[in-house]
Chain A
């Protein structure tokens, strides 16, 4: 148990492996650099499309990382930077797409699946009805007399 706890704690120390090529690419201010990484992890590298720009070592990703940091230093907010990127590369650049008619199904899928699951569970419960209650003494007597008649 203690070993398991220790292993879990060790897992917490794992940080994502980022592709920042050179230390001088990073911002001197650690808080701002952390913010830049958070923004960058939400932006898709358009060359290696399943990586974020923070993970990718493609030249375009490096340029975009640089732009994120430049704009943060100019005091732009995360939303402004994301809008700047979306204007150029479309919604596709966002690894977490915004809610729109095109992404509604994607976002609502967990809710829809939950509703379907609840419906199924309800139907299962209805099907397994309780067994009929045993006949009372009087009922049994009536039944026997009816059967004897034949």
Chain B
């Protein structure tokens, strides 16, 4: 059979459909494996040093829970998981059980990271109440009551989280930025690989 232009033209839609099909399968596969997230936002800070941000004061009545400044990231010994949250945010309540569990596992000696918090546009009394519910997971907490600190971090909503690796020259380097409630799955599939990749 001779291949005419008519045949080629007829093959075009079929090829197009096949291309779309392959694209969809790859997308679904990525969704399953966790390397494609359609709701992911642009995270330009990934790979960058910790940004400059105004010093965030601690909660007024929380002894042993210092505030958060850029200098705190300068000499970190362990990776830091910075959680951005607010007591008024529902997905933050959703992630409380995981934070509590993570904090408990971090209390042992072989702690792979430190858990710090950034409290976004919240009332101190409510934030304190939330901390009680979450089982006081953080070792550092900055109160960002006007939300300016979160803007410097490129936060678009709560909850969000950052993984910061020790890097004395850069003052800490952000290696991961996630949006939405932290879960065991996200921790295992997205955060642990970074911790294990550490030289």
Contacts and interface: CB of A to CB of B under 8 A. Distances in A.
Interface of A: 46-47, 59-60, 63-64, 67, 86-93
Interface residues of B, number: 16
A47 B157 contact: yes
A57 B40 CA distance: 22
Contacts of B145: none
Interface in B177-195: none
A88 B154 CA distance: 5
A91 B42 contact: yes
Contacts of B156: 46-47, 60, 89
B45 to A, nearest CB: 8
A63 B157 CA distance: 13
A57 to B, nearest CB: 15
Looking at chain A's contact residues, is the secondary structure mostly helix, strand, loop, or mixed? Answer: helix
Interface of B: 41-45, 51, 121, 146-148, 151-154, 156-157
Contacts of B151: 60, 63-64, 67, 88
B6 to A, nearest CB: 16
> Which residue, of A47, A64, A86, A90, has the highest number of chain B Cβ atoms within 10 A?
A90
A86 B44 contact: yes
Contact of A60 (B42, B45, B147, B152): B147
B42 A92 contact: yes
Nearest to B146: A63
A87 B43 CA distance: 10
B41 A46 contact: yes
A14 B148 CA distance: 34
Given A59-B121, A60-B157, A90 B147 contact: no
A90 B152 contact: no
A52 to B, nearest CB: 15
A87 B174 CA distance: 14
